[in-house]
Amino acid sequence: MTQAKMLEAHPNDLSGVDRDKLAECIAACFECAQVCTACADACLSEDMVAELTDCIRTNLDCADICVATGKALSRLSGYGTNVTRVFLEACAEACKACGDECAQHAEMHEHCKICAESCRRCEEACRALIATL
């Protein structure tokens, strides 16, 4: 995993941080952001787009929060800080909300099923990293 290689190459002292969980969380954040963006676009292409407005908004909010969290985690600037915890908590909550919303449409739209699964993985990765801080 490229994230793990970058963490190993970084000169900052990461003692006390679970590098594997950190790398998994960074990867999950960026994957979720891409999937949520694609799901929003797919929702916009559906015939029943008016019924998917909450899904689209939730997708876009989640994507933005995942990108911000992935970028903040990639900077390696103090993992014991409250700011890092707040980023992770916000990301986990956004992923939960988006996963719940997409799950409501998963039987009808495969893209929503895929998105809900990605959101669940990202939420779990964020919560797993929080537990190590």
- Evaluate whether 59 touches 43 at the Cβ level (below 8 Å): yes
Nearest to 37 by CA among 118, 105, 127: 118
* CA-closest candidate to residue 28, choices 130, 93, 128, 123: 123
pLDDT tens-digit map of 98-109: 999 999 999 999
Domains, the chain, in order of start with CATH, read: 18-132 (1.20.1270.360)
Q: Is 53 exposed, middle or buried, given 0-12, 13-18 or 19+ CB atoms closer than 10 A?
A: exposed
What pLDDT is attached to residue 92? 98
Classify residue 78 as left (phi > 0), alpha (psi -120 to 50) or beta. left
CA distance 23 to 75: 12
Per-residue pLDDT tens over the stretch 28-68: 999 999 999 999 999 999 999 999 999 999 999 999 999 99
With contact defined as beta carbons under 8 Å apart, do 65 and 90 qualify? yes
Tally Cβ neighbours within 10 Å of residue 96. 17
* Res. 83 pLDDT band, cuts 50 70 90: confident
Residues 6 or more apart whose Cβ sits within 8 Å of residue 72: 83, 84, 87
